[in-house]
Structure 1
Amino acid sequence: MRAKPNHVFYVLLIFLCYSHRSEAQLPSTQGYTCTANQTTTPQPCQTYVFYRAMAPDFLDLASIADLFSVSRLMISKPSNISSPSAPLVPNQPLFVPITCSCNSVNSSMSISYANLSYTIKPADTFYEVSTTHFQNLTTYQSVGVVNPTLVATNLTIGVNVVFPIFCKCPNSTQLQNGVNHLVSYVVQPSDNLSTVASRFGIQTQSIIDVNGNNTRTWDTIFVPVTQLPELTQPTVVPSSSTPEDDDRKGVVTGLAIGLGITGFLLILVFGFWVYREGSLKKRIIMAGDEEKQRSKMNKEVKGNKGLMGMEVSLMADVSDCLDKYRVFGIDELQEATDGFSDSCLIQGSVYKGRIDKEVYAIKKMNWNACEELKILQKVNHGNLVKLEGFCIDSLQANCYLVYEYVDNGSLYSWLHENENEKLSWKTRLRIAIDVANGLQYIHEHTRPRVVHKDIKSSNILLDTNMRARIANFGLAKSGCNAITMHIVGTQGYIAPEYLADGVVSTKMDVFSFGVVLLELISGELAIDEDGNALWASAGKVLEGNDEDKARKLKNWVDKAFFGESCSMETLMNVMTVAVSCVHRDPSKRPNMVDIVYALCKSEDLFHDISDDALSDPAVMGR
């Protein structure tokens, strides 16, 4: 299906824009250009947009939070709303948090905006969503620039579109002057700069200094504030009747009804007393038997209807996958796994099964596979485990995901359970690069970005050539920079900001990858028997002068390297990458692009073994 285009409307709109609004008077409708210079303007930054609740779709915090990919609590607190579940009234003012950064849209242009993903619905257009849903916080021209592969007049329903919400980060001078936020505010027909300044409790000149003195209605301006003003929220008007009046009326009415019912019951009981005594026991027994049968039948019918409804619902949710993946029958999976016997169990709820001479890994799940399916259908990379198909079992209320079978098991088993054969350093570094490439793909080449949320050595599988593939997208989230109250993950790999505040971002995957790197270097578990996290002490290895670092690194690395010729320079470089990945401050962690570059650079050093080679066990002694 395609969203309905309106060509006449677009022609008229463009004519009006160019007839009545000159380029010299207004900022570019494509957005606010910027230069990604961390010295003059620190990037990214958290700021806010001024948003107004509106009927019919955005009169509750849940719908607005979904639109901006944040939690309700993140809106209610700065907006002075007592409860995240409180209803809203039309035009109620809100502060909605966004993450602003300078984004390159082509080789010659960068725009400052918050990256928000929106799924196109019937009758949606770039203009409609920009002006109504996002209330002119962006423009349809800017949406077109940021999504160059999409045709504005021929949008596919269900496609994800990036809507660039205009914003700016305070520069270093503004920060020194106490400006902590530049709030994005859309000028209304009844506004002037004086009224806007009064609303935010600042001087009019402050707004002019940032935006100039030539703003027009529907322009996005940036209001400099040290802290957000306290918004005055509407109150509910109480009923005009008093509690005493209500109580008095209730008593009178209750007495009248009660007396009438009592009299009727007395007559009824007396009239049927003899009849009741003679046949009551027999009727109770018969009615009881009938009721049991009826209840059983109702439960079966309702259960079947419920399961059928669940199946229909799930099939509707994954309808886009039907032509991409094979839909297996439950009988096929039962036969392939010998009835899901323990002898076919690989790990957790994943079974090994052979269907049509092909071996698969079959993951048994409840009815929560929809999100994982939606994410997996968007990704296709050699370092991600490939989904081959799925199966829906409505009778048992189960869903099965069928993956390719990866022969050599998990990295965890090779590092911590295989005592007979240890991975070489070169193999470990190759594995690290494979995992980094897989994460770079889901972080940088999916829209919206995918956060895996459960990177760990047991979720990294090795094929026959010992090349790594990332598995288990059961906790993955499409979209980032959000807050969740439901913390999930594996102890020892969880990023501090996610554990403390529920912050979901690609940097939490970077942290977990850093822990995996530390496992590869040291051969140690991510968390020991005493509950000590491996990453917590890793930074100490890089403290001191070069000689101290080399000595501590030799005590850190896996003893399996003692007989190898691997350069100290390579080990030190990878250790530096790992420590930077597990930095407590997510903004100071590298992104996966930089990590892949640094690790590939290390791999080249195998051709240039230095004199510090760790090939002598005496040198490597602890």
Structure 2
Amino acid sequence: MKREQLYFFTFLFIFHCFHYQVQAQQIFPTSTCSTNETNNPCQTYVFYRAIAPELLNLANISDLFSVSRLMISKPSNLSTTTSPLLPNQPLLIPITCSCNSNHNFSYSNLTYIIKPADTFYQVSTHTYQNLTTYQAVEAVNPTLIPTLLQIGQNVVFPIFCKCPNKTQVLNQVNYLISYVFQPNDNLSSIGEFFGSNVKSLIDVNGEKIQPFDVIYIPVSRIPQFAQPFVTPLSPSSQREERKEVIIGLSVGLGVSCFLLILLISIIGVWYYRELLKRKENINEEKGNKHQLKRMKSSIEEENLMADVSDCLDKYKVYGIHEVKEATAGFSPNCLIQGSVYKGYIGEELYAIKKMKWNAYEQLKILQKVNHGNLVRLEGFSIDPEDGNCYLVYEYVENGSLYSWLNKERLNMKKLDWKTRLRIAIDVANGLQYIHEHTRPKVVHKDIKTSNILLDGNMRAKIANFGLAKSGCNAITMHIVGTQGYIAPEYLADGIVTTKMDVFSFGVVLLELITGKEAINEEGKVLWLNVDKVLEGGEEMKQLKLKQWMDEVLIDENCSLEGVMNVMAVAIACLQKDPSRRPSMVDIVYTLCKSDDLHFDFSEDGLSVTPISAR
């Protein structure tokens, strides 16, 4: 290569590196974040305007931001979740904001499904109204090619946000609302609109604010918008309106005089008839009140049904009278456990779960899953009078795994090792399905023995998706779950991934091996120091394992090697570092290799043998 060519390519390389560095600096706004901020992560809000034609209802907007309609209507001061919105009607939408260490900037990850003609630029500027930039979208989706997007593809859009620092919290700043600065805006009008002030806005955002920049508005409480906004009439329109009012009043006065004369002439007849009908009218009034009550219930039911309109095609909607009749008015005699009742609808026995109206997210998840190791939802019912929702599930005859391991039932047979291993594989198969075969992935978040039900053939089914999360790699401030099963990273940082289900599954394996509960009466968790069980020589391992094992299994004289292999899987699942835990695919593969699986595996005659024996 000639020297001139070498110089030329060297110059191009340096220019490219410099250009990339400048471009990278422009991807995210200039303000940075720190992971040790007071409220990191935090719950905050973005200001959004309803836009025609596709985003003039809460249903589409709530899907866009992955929140429920109620979560938007309440802070936005809307009286209903079903009424259509006006163009540019202001909304406050809740998001979870966190500081990303890779980009040193705070944003909320929202998953968007690509539609025809979508581009990163179009979705960023129009759909998300400049709350992010297409450069930021490219940065957080490095594996996607912007010019080769596929319809139906999931793309993460980082919505810019900010959490209050320690000083701001001390100054009663509870939220920093993300707002896109418009060309006709000024800081005074923005401050007045949100109940803030110019100095606070400058302290947070600086003075160099350009149109379409995302700025952060410090507030101590959520501002209350007057909904809806009414556009004032022009002077000419006001004059026309006054003229029409005068004409209307004149006509109305003339008609009123005529009617008054007519009324006086027939008042005697009317009074006489009223006396005769008084008794009849009292009864009619009672009927009207009853009808009004029915109409009110009908409207409330209509609003509730609108929330689950996407699910109506898949599930049967039962009448509330059917549910009440099936459970004898929710009699204690029909109670299974907690708020779950059993009852016959027609000739079929069902499990009916009574809950307050918060089942929308659960129904959205359940309509996407269909697997033999998940309890099947048959339908639901809504009671508009008390706002309750009733989920109607298939009835699983043999109750929960918890009751079998803890001998809650009288005359209950003891679970042998092969049955326990088969239960473990059933649960693993169910988790593998929701982790690998649903889009987006589903995290159950509450895997435990009381949420694992056993049918008439002692096959396991995962139940209760009340805490399930569609999509993972999210961060939440609202920690929920059952003590003894909660993964350390979720408890400490609120990180939601499929690996938290893997951790909980490891605890279930320990319960199958030991017959003990996940947490004892003293509050000590079962998985503590479990990693030391398989340390030492072979004899030492077997001795330690026997000290852990359920006496039922020792009396059965089952294969110690098979139990040891399952214990190894449990220890792998219970690694404190989630990246070191195996996937459910690996777990299913490992458990199915067990020599203890040389038996007829299902009622359909599927024979499962160890891979080594094939």
Range class of TM-score, shorter chain: 0.5 to 0.7
User: Which of 116, 133, 136 is matched with 1:135 structurally?
Assistant: 133
| Aligned-pair Cα RMSD in Å | 4.2
1:120 to partner: Cα distance = 6.4
Q: Tell me by how many angstroms 1:588 deviates.
A: 1.2
Paired-residue identity, %: 60
Equivalence for 2:342: 352
What is the TM-score when the length of structure 1 is the normalising length?
Answer: 0.56
Residue 532 of structure 2 corresponds to which residue in structure 1? 540
After superposition, give the CA deviation of every residue in 1:162-198 in whole Å (9 maximum; x if it has no partner): 11679xxxxxxxxxxxxxxxxxxxxxxxxxxxxxxxx
Contact 1:483–1:503 (8 Å) recurs in 2: yes
Match of 2:371 in 1: 381
Inter-partner Cα distance in structure 2 for 1:314 and 1:144: 41
Partner of 1:50: 28
Partner secondary structure for residue 403 of structure 2: helix
Q: Tell me whether 1:234 sits opposite 2:210 in the alignment.
A: no
Task: Tell me the SS of whatever aligns to 2:547.
Answer: helix
How far is the alpha carbon of 1:509 from its aligned partner? 0.7
**Alignment of 1:327 onto 2:317:** yes
CA distance in 1, matches of 2:125, 2:62: 15
* Cα deviation, residue 446, structure 1: 0.9
Identify the residue that residue 314 of structure 1 maps to in structure 2: 304
Contact 2:422/2:459 (8 A) holds in 1: yes
Shift in Å, 1:568: 2.1
Query: CA contact under 8 A between 1:51 and 1:96: conserved in structure 2?
Result: no
**Shift of the alpha carbon at 1:570?**
1.3
1:472 aligns with 2:464: yes
Residue identity in the other structure for 1:234: G
Matches within 5 A, 1:99-110: none
Distance in 2 separating the partners of 1:415 and 1:145? 53
Shift of residue 300, structure 1, vs aligned partner: 11
Q: Counterpart amino acid of 2:133?
A: Q
1:420–1:365 Cα change, 3 Å: closer
- SS of structure 2 residue aligned to 1:493: coil
* 2:393 counterpart of 1:403: yes
Distance change in 2, residues 1:569/1:77 (3 Å): closer
The amino acid across from 2:585 in the alignment is V
CA distance in 2: counterparts of 1:541 and 1:570, whole angstroms: 15
Q: Deviations over 1:470-525 (max 9, x none)?
A: 00001111111111111111111111111122111111111111100000011011
2:422 to 430, 435, 441: 430
Instruction: Flag the 1:596–1:76 CA change in 2: closer, same or farther, 3 A.
Output: closer
1:602 to 577, 594, 614: 594
Paired with 1:125 and 1:75, the residues of 2 have a C-alpha distance of 26
- The equivalent of 1:574 in structure 2 is 566
Q: Distance in 2 between matches of 1:538 and 1:464?
A: 33
For residue 50 of structure 1, give the secondary structure of its aligned residue in structure 2: coil
Correspondences of 1:507-526 after superposition (within 5 Å): 507-526=499-518
Cα offset for 1:345? Answer: 0.4
Secondary structure in 1 aligned to 2:485?
coil
Q: CA deviation at 1:583?
A: 1.3
State the one-letter code of the partner of 2:384: S
2:575 to 574, 580, 583: 583
Aligned partners of 1:424 and 1:564: how far apart in 2? Answer: 7
Unaligned runs of 5+ in 1: 1-24, 27-47, 81-93, 99-115, 153-159, 167-230, 238-298, 608-622
1:74 is aligned to 2:66 = no
Q: For residues 212-246 of structure 1, what are the alpha-carbon distances to aligned partners after superposition, in whole Å with 9 as ceiling and x for unaligned?
A: xxxxxxxxxxxxxxxxxxx9843699xxxxxxxxx
CA distance 1:495–1:356, shift in 2 (3 Å): same
Instruction: Give the distance between the partners of 2:365 and 2:505, measured in 1 at CA.
Output: 20
For each residue in 1:427-483, what CA deviation from the matched residue of structure 2 results, as whole angstroms up to 9, or x when unmatched? 000000000000011111111111111100000000011000000001111111111
CA distances 1:296-318 after superposition (whole Å, capped 9, x unpaired):
xxx99999898666533432221
Deviations 1:75-133 (A, max 9, x none): 499999xxxxxxxxxxxxx54377xxxxxxxxxxxxxxxxx632568986677336765
Whether the 8 Å CA contact 1:321–1:377 is kept in 2: the answer is: yes
Structure 1 residues 545-601: Cα deviation after superposition (integer angstroms, max 9, x where no partner): 222111101111111112435322211110011011111111111111111111111
Distance 1:348 1:64, change over 3 A: closer
Aligned to 1:245: none
Residue 529 of structure 2 aligns to a residue whose secondary structure is helix
Amino acid at match of 1:399: C
1:110 corresponds in structure 2 to none
Alignment match, 1:452: 444
Would you say the 8 A contact 1:436–1:596 is kept in 2? Answer: yes
Verify the 8 A CA contact 2:340 2:353 in the aligned structure 1. Answer: yes
Alignment check: 8 A CA contact 1:451 1:480 kept = yes
The verdict on how the C-alpha distance between 1:320 and 1:482 changes in structure 2, with shifts beyond 3 A counting, is same
Match of 2:521 in 1: 529
Letter paired with 2:367: Q
- 1: CA distance between counterparts of 2:374 and 2:320? 25
The answer to whether the Cα contact below 8 Å between 2:64 and 2:112 also exists between their aligned partners in 1 is no
**Structure 2 Cα separation of the partners of residues 124 and 592 of structure 1:** 34
> What amino acid maps onto 1:480 in structure 2?
C
Write out per-residue CA displacement over residues 30-62 of structure 1, whole angstroms, 9 at most, x where no aligned residue.
xxxxxxxxxxxxxxxxxx97369999669xxxx
Q: Write the distance in 2 (CA, Å) between the matches of 1:77 and 1:307.
A: 51
What TM-score do the two structures reach when normalised by structure 2? 0.57
Note if contact 1:117-1:161 (Cα within 8 Å) is conserved in structure 2.
no
Structure 2: unaligned runs, 5 residues or longer: 1-14, 17-25, 32-45, 51-60, 68-93, 159-202, 210-288, 600-614
Distance 1:301 1:586 in 2: 58
Displacement, 1:364? 0.5
Q: 1:520 to 1:493 in 2, by over 3 A?
A: same
Contact 1:143 1:164 in 2 (8 A): no
- 1:495 paired with 2:487, answer yes
Name the counterpart of 2:278.
none
User: Secondary structure of the residue that 2:28 maps to in structure 1?
Assistant: strand
